[in-house]
C-alpha cells in the first residue's frame, strides 16, 4: 500500500535525523535548561543559525522545537515576533550590493544582491526543518501566525518567508495522489470528516455514502506530513450536469453503480492544513483526478463542478445600496409587490427590501421564489463575470476555477437550500466545466485580461438587460420584460430574445 511505503520512508528519515541529532549534541551550543523557556528558545534560535556542523545543527533544531512545543500561548506569540523582528537582512551590506548593481548591472552582482536581500530568518527556518517533525512544527507555527496577522502586521515578513519556503517544499513534484475509499485507514477517514469545509460530513454513515461505488475521493499527501491529507476532492459520478447538492448528498434509494455515468461532478474541495494557506494544490489536484478518472472510466467525458458562490450575498447588498438601479424597474416592482407598504411608512430601500422578502423559508413561497429567481440569477451572472471595478475582488471559488481554465457553464437556482447556501448566495450554485480541449486557452485569457469563459446560457443572463431595454426613442411596451427574465413567455406571445 502506498501509505505504508510513505510512512516507512518517513520513519526511516526520522530515525536517521534523530540519530544524527543524538551524535551531534555533544558538539552543539545548547543553552542551560535553567533559563526561562522563552529566553531559552531565543538563544537556541540564534545558536542554530550560527551552527556549521550538520549533526550539531540537527541537535539544536530538535531542542528548539521541543522548547517551542512547550511554550505557553503568550510566549509563543512573543517568539513569533522575535522571529519577525530579529533576523532581518544586514542593511549596510544590502545597500552596498544594491549600489554596486546599479553602478554596473550584471548577473554576478544580481546574485550578490539577491543573497544580501534574503533575510537570515529563511536560513533559520530551513535549519528548523531539519529536526524530526520540523515541517509539521513550521506548518503549525504559520497556522498560529495567520490567526494574529491582522492585529500584528509586523508579522508579515515572517509569514512571507514561511509561504515562500512552503511553496518550494510542497512543490507538486513532492506530492502523492491517493484515492480514499472505505478501506483507507480510520485515522485518515476521521481527518476527512474533520477537514470537510464545504458540505459537512454528518458522521460515518454520511462518509460511507460519499465513498460509495458511484463516488470517488482523492487526496494529496506529502511525505513530511505522514497520514495528513493536504487537500481532498469529492466526486460524484452521474448522468449529466448536477443542478443541486442535496440529491448528491442524500442516501441512494438503491445500490448505485457508475456504469451509466457520463459526468464527473467535483462537488467539494477542502484544504486541510491552515498553515499552508496560499500554497496552491487544487489546480494540480483537479487536473490529475481528471486523468485518473479518464483512465479508470473511459465513458466519463464531462468534468464539471457544482460550486458555491460564497461572496454573492455580501456583494449584492453593497451593489443595491450603492446602485438601486441594478434592478430593472419590472424586477423592483415585483419585489415591492411582495412587501405592501404600511400607511405612512417610508418606502424601503432596494437592499432593505431584499432583506425583508428573504426572511424565513422564502424559497418555499412560490410568489417570492418566482419574483426573486430571474433577478438573482441575472445578478449572479453579473457578479461572476464583471470586471473588477472596486466593488470587491472576484469571488474566491470563481477565481480558483476560472484561473484553472474552467468555463462558467450554468447558474443553478436553489442548488443548495442548506443554511450556509442560503446565507451566502440565496441557494444559488454554479457549474464550472473543465473541457480538456479549452482549459489552457481559458486559463491564458483569464490570467492575461480577466476574460471569463462562459456558456451561451450564462452569456444570455449577462446580456439580458441590454436585450430587454427598448432602443432610444422606441415606444415599445415593457409589459413583457419580467416574464422573459423569469424564463416565461411574454403576454404578447413573443418568444424570448435572450436565447436562454
* Integer Rg of the chain from CA: 28
Q: β-pairing, 215-222 with 263-271? A: unpaired
Residue 220 pairs with which residues in a beta bridge? Answer: 177, 231
Given the residues 56, 76, 270, 307, select the one marked as catalytic. 307
Q: How many CB atoms lie within 10 A of CB 493?
A: 7
Q: How many CA atoms lie within 13 A of 15 on its CB side?
A: 6
Residues in the chain: 500
Given the residues 76, 222, 304, 401, select the one marked as catalytic. 401
Name the DSSP letter for residue 37. Answer: H
Residue 221 pairs with which residues in a beta bridge? Answer: 176
Q: Is 268 a catalytic residue?
A: no
Residue 480 · residue 490 · CB < 8 Å: yes
Q: How many CA atoms lie within 13 A of 177 on its CB side?
A: 19
CA pair distance 394, 309, nearest whole angstrom: 10
Q: DSSP of 149-170, one letter per residue?
A: TTT-GGGHHHHHHHHHHHHHHT
Name the DSSP letter for residue 66. Answer: H
For residue 273, count CB atoms less than 10 angstroms from its CB and return exposed for 0-12, middle for 13-18, buried for 19 or more: buried
For residue 425, count CB atoms less than 10 angstroms from its CB and return exposed for 0-12, middle for 13-18, buried for 19 or more: buried
Residue 125 · residue 45 · CB < 8 Å: no
Q: Is 401 a catalytic residue?
A: yes
Residue 497 · residue 468 · CB < 8 Å: yes
For residue 455, count CB atoms less than 10 angstroms from its CB and return exposed for 0-12, middle for 13-18, buried for 19 or more: middle
End-to-end CA distance of the chain: 50
CA dihedral 195, 196, 198, 200 (to 10 degrees): -120
Which residues are catalytically annotated? 307, 401
Amino acid at each position: 500500500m502506498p501509505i505504508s511505503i510513505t510512512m516507512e520512508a518517513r520513519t526511516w528519515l526520522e530515525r536517521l535525523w534523530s540519530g544524527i541529532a543524538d551524535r551531534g549534541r555533544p558538539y552543539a551550543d545548547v543553552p542551560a535548561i535553567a533559563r526561562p523557556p522563552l529566553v531559552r528558545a531565543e538563544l537556541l534560535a540564534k545558536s542554530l543559525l550560527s551552527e556549521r556542523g550538520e549533526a550539531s545543527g540537527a541537535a539544536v533544531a530538535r531542542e528548539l522545537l521541543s522548547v517551542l512545543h512547550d511554550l505557553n500561548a503568550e510566549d509563543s506569540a512573543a517568539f513569533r515576533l522575535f522571529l519577525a523582528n530579529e533576523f532581518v537582512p544586514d542593511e549596510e551590506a544590502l545597500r552596498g550590493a544594491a549600489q554596486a548593481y546599479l553602478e554596473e548591472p550584471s548577473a554576478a552582482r544580481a546574485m550578490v544582491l539577491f543573497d544580501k536581500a534574503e533575510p537570515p530568518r529563511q536560513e533559520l527556518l530551513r535549519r528548523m526543518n531539519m529536526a524530526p517533525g520540523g515541517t509539521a512544527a513550521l506548518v503549525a507555527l504559520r497556522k498560529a501566525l495567520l490567526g494574529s496577522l491582522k492585529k500584528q502586521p509586523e508579522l508579515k515578513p515572517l509569514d512571507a518567508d514561511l509561504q515562500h519556503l512552503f511553496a518550494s517544499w510542497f512543490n507538486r513534484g513532492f506530492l502523492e495522489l491517493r484515492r480514499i475509499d472505505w478501506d483507507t485507514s480510520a485515522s485518515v477517514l476521521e481527518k476527512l470528516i474533520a477537514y470537510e469545509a464545504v458540505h459537512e460530513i454528518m458522521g460515518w454513515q454520511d462518509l460511507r455514502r460519499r465513498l460509495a461505488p458511484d463516488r470517488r475521493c482523492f487526496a494529496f499527501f506529502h511525505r513530511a506530513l505522514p497520514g495528513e491529507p493536504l487537500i481532498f476532492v469529492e466526486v460524484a459520478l452521474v448522468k449529466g450536469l448536477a443542478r443541486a447538492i442535496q440529491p448528491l448528498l442524500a442516501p441512494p434509494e438503491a445500490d448505485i453503480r457508475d456504469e451509466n455515468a457520463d459526468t464527473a461532478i467535483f462537488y467539494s474541495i477542502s484544504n486541510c492544513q491552515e498553515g499552508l494557506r496560499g500554497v496552491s494544490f487544487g489546480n494540480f489536484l483537479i487536473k490529475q483526478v481528471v486523468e485518473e478518472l479518464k483512465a479508470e472510466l473511459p465513458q466519463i467525458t464531462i468534468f464539471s463542478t457544482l460550486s458555491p458562490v460564497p461572496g454573492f450575498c455580501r456583494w449584492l447588498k453593497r451593489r443595491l445600496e450603492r446602485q438601486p438601479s441594478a434592478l430593472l424597474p419590472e424586477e423592483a416592482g415585483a419585489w415591492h409587490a411582495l412587501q405592501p407598504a404600511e400607511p405612512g411608512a417610508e418606502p424601503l430601500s432596494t437592499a432593505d427590501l431584499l432583506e425583508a422578502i428573504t426572511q424565513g423559508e422564502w424559497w418555499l413561497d412560490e410568489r417570492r421564489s418566482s419574483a426573486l429567481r430571474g433577478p438573482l440569477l441575472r445578478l449572479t451572472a453579473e457578479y461572476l463575470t464583471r470586471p473588477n471595478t472596486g466593488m470587491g475582488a472576484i469571488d474566491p471559488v470563481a477565481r480558483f476555477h476560472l484561473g484553472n481554465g474552467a468555463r462558467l457553464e450554468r447558474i443553478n437556482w436553489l442548488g443548495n437550500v442548506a443554511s450556509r447556501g442560503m446565507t451566502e448566495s440565496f441557494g444559488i450554485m454554479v457549474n464550472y466545466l473543465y473541457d480538456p480541449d479549452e482549459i489552457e486557452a481559458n486559463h491564458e485569457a483569464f490570467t492575461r485580461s480577466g476574460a471569463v469563459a462562459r456558456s451561451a446560457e450564462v452569456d444570455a443572463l449577462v446580456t439580458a438587460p441590454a436585450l430587454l431595454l427598448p432602443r432610444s426613442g422606441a415606444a415599445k411596451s415593457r409589459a413583457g420584460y419580467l416574464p422573459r427574465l423569469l424564463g416565461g413567455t411574454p403576454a404578447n406571445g413573443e418568444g424570448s430574445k435572450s436565447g436562454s
